Amino acid sequence: MKLAYWMYAGPAHIGTLRVASSFKNVHAIMHAPLGDDYFNVMRSMLERERNFTPVTTSVVDRNVLARGSQEKVVDNITRKDAEEHPDLIVLTPTCTSSILQEDLQNFVERAQLDAKGDVILADVNHYRVNELQAGDRTLQQIVQFYTDKARKRGELPTEKTATPSVNILGISTLGFHNQHDCTELKRLMADLGITVNAVLPEGASVHEIKNLSRAWFNLVPYRELGLMSATYLQEQFNQPYVDITPMGVVETARCLRQIQKVLNEQGAAVDYEAFIEEQTLHVSQAAWFSRSIDCQNLTGKKAVVFGDNTHAAAMTKILAREMGIRVVLAGTYCKADADWFREQVVDFCDEVLVSDDNGAIGDAIARLEPAAIFGTQMERHVGKRLDIPCGVIAAPIHIQNFPIGYKPFMGYEGTNQITDLVYNSFTLGMEDHLLEIFGGHDTKESITKGISAESDLGWSKDGLTELNKIPGFVRGKVKRNTEKFARDRGIEQITAEVLYAAKEAVGA
């Protein structure tokens, strides 16, 4: 048993459902108790989805437990098949119902006898893997299912497309800015003269899968979703893939050069150097920003980065390499793929943290006192309490991560968006400072709240009054320094005098 207050990646069935419901005309049946169907709410509310989420819960209740689930699950599959004629029905348990250890594969086979569409069981170990791993696996499973099916029927194409083409793998519902990234990537491919053969799974039909091998390569923009499918397609068809995330000016260029290499190895003769240079120097504002006086002011400022592998690694590189910001800590919650992360960021940061314990990250932030954080919604809240600005760069997703306007993180427009995000995060801190100087803020009452539960130290009234006079953006820091000073000297009550003594001691 583990005492838990927060999780970064969801349970496995969420990943499976994200992939299944991203496809067009695919329905998922979730074999689960009544309260497990929160996915439908998330999709409908966060994505502001206009259509009903194609997920039905086959309810496990006391009666079903007593009588066995088979009949009910099979009925629900065949019923949905008849009602909406989906191409595919994906059956998934949740970690709760998987404890029942029922032979769901057998249910699927039974249902398949009557269903006109295809029926599969999501082959995921619900106790061992999380949302991200399960999503990756489910996508691969569906790709494999339809590849095998086409092969049996002799429907697999043998030719590649006449001109260079790409499959973009890993765009899905409830992904962090996925829709915007997808639009940006399509534009980028069009600029390069590459045809998009398929985008998977968002908006795709399962019938497109048999034609995946026609593309010259697969592009996997997110480390968390699509890599298993790309690897599978490489094994099957010797189809190469590019898994460099095109985020930031430098990595976008590296991604494009890799694409160029992959295409030229297959007989194309493309040269993207001129395009890269034009975009970098004249179209994207990010490179110019790095030279501008605004960015000079950010030089050497300290930042903490935390998120999923894709976004945390890319962000660390952008801050360190493209903006001269000192990343004091780069962290990821993708523990299963930690080696990759370490290798990516080790040269760009002081410290690496691999953890899915939000308390550990909060404590690290409190200890490091960065000028800005780039993290998830959780770190944003940590930042709020410590008075440190935070830009949100990664899931877990939140309604704020579904802006109506166009806000990609990838490609050249993405570089502009990220620049704005970084700049605004830091300037928010400065603005705060100016406001304080001109007396524009209400005095905040929350200052005695530290990040880790309770402070054993007491503040006297005059001590607090003095503390409140200190500008908000350094107040937290002064408070922590003073408390450290007091603790080292065994002082229990912090008065105004102690505060000033501490200030002197640290030369602040």
Partner 1 sequence: MTLATPQPQALNFDCETGNYHTFCPISCVAWLYQKIEDSFFLVIGTKTCGYFLQNAMGVMIFAEPRYAMAELEEGDISAQLNDYEELKRLCTQIKRDRNPSVIVWIGTCTTEIIKMDLEGLAPKLEQEVGIPIVVARANGLDYAFTQGEDTVLAAMAHRCPSKAPVADTEKEERNAISRLLNFGRKQEDVKAEESEYADHPPLVLFGSLPDPVVTQLTLELKKQGIKVSGWLPAKRFTELPVIEEGTYVVGVNPFLSHTATTLMRRRKCTLINAPFPIGPDGTRAWIEKICSVFNIQPKGLAEREQQVWASLEDYLQLIRGKSVFFMGDNLLEISLARFLVRCGMTVSEIGIPYMDKRYQKAELALLEQTCHEMGVPLPNIVEKPDNYNQLQRINDSHPDLVITGMAHANPLEARGINTKWSVEFTFAQIHGFTNARDILELVTRPLRRNNSLKDLGWSKLVKDEAKV
Cβ atoms of 93 and 31 closer than 8 Å: yes
| Interaction site with ligand SF4 (CB under 6 A) | 33-36, 96, 377, 398
Largest CA distance in the chain: 85
Query: Closest distance between partner 1 and the C-beta of residue 77, in Å?
Result: 12
Q: Binders of partner 1 among 382-401, rule CB under 8 A?
A: 398
With CB atoms as reference, the residue minimizing the distance to ligand SF4 is: 35
Task: Concatenate the DSSP letters of all residues of 195-219 into one string.
Answer: EEEEEEETT--GGGGGGGGGSSEEE
CB-CB contact of 28 with 53 (8 Å):
no
- Answer yes or no: are the C-beta atoms of 8 and 358 closer than 8 Å: yes
Nearer to partner 1, 62 or 291 (CB): 62
Min separation Cβ 440 and ligand SF4, Å: 22
Around 68, how many Cα atoms within 13 Å sit in the side-chain half-sphere?
Answer: 7
Distance in angstroms (rounded) separating the CA atoms of residues 249 and 281 = 10
Least distance from C-beta 60 to partner 1, angstroms?
Answer: 7
CB 350 within 8 A of CB 327: yes
Rounded least distance, CB 59 to partner 1, Å: 6
Q: Which does 293 bind (CB under 5 to 8 A by kind): partner 1, ligand SF4, none?
A: none
Residues 76-135 that bind partner 1 (CB under 8 A): 76, 83-84, 94-96, 99-100, 127-128, 130
Q: Which is nearer to partner 1, 321 or 398 (CB)?
A: 398
Number of CB atoms found within 10 A of residue 379's CB? 26
The CB-of-92 to partner 1 minimum distance in angstroms stands at 12
Give the residue numbers annotated as catalytic, written as ranges: 294
Question: Rounded to an integer, what distance in angstroms lies between the CA atom of residue 370 and that of residue 389?
Answer: 9
Pick from 250, 357, 384, 247: nearest CA to 312: 247
Q: Does 28 bind partner 1 (CB under 8 A)?
A: no
Taking CB under 8 A as the criterion, the residue among 254, 381, 433, 477 binding partner 1 is 381
Encoded one letter per residue, x for contact with partner 1 by CB under 8 A and - for no contact, window 41-70 reads: xx-xx--xxxxxx--xxxxxxx--x-----
**Could you give the 3-state DSSP secondary structure of residue 57?**
strand
* Residue with smaller CB distance to ligand SF4, 36 or 131: 36
**How far apart, in Å, do the first and last CA atoms of the chain sit?**
45
- Site membership for partner 1, residue 36 (CB under 8 A): yes
Residue 22: name its binding partner from partner 1, ligand SF4, none (Cβ under 5 to 8 Å by kind).
Answer: none
- Contact between 308 and 392 (Cβ < 8 Å): no
Two structure tokens written together for 138: 């489910």
| Contacts with partner 1, residue ranges (CB under 8 A) | 1-7, 10-11, 13-14, 32-38, 40-42, 44-45, 48-53, 56-62, 65, 76, 83-84, 94-96, 99-100, 127-128, 130, 377-378, 381, 398, 453
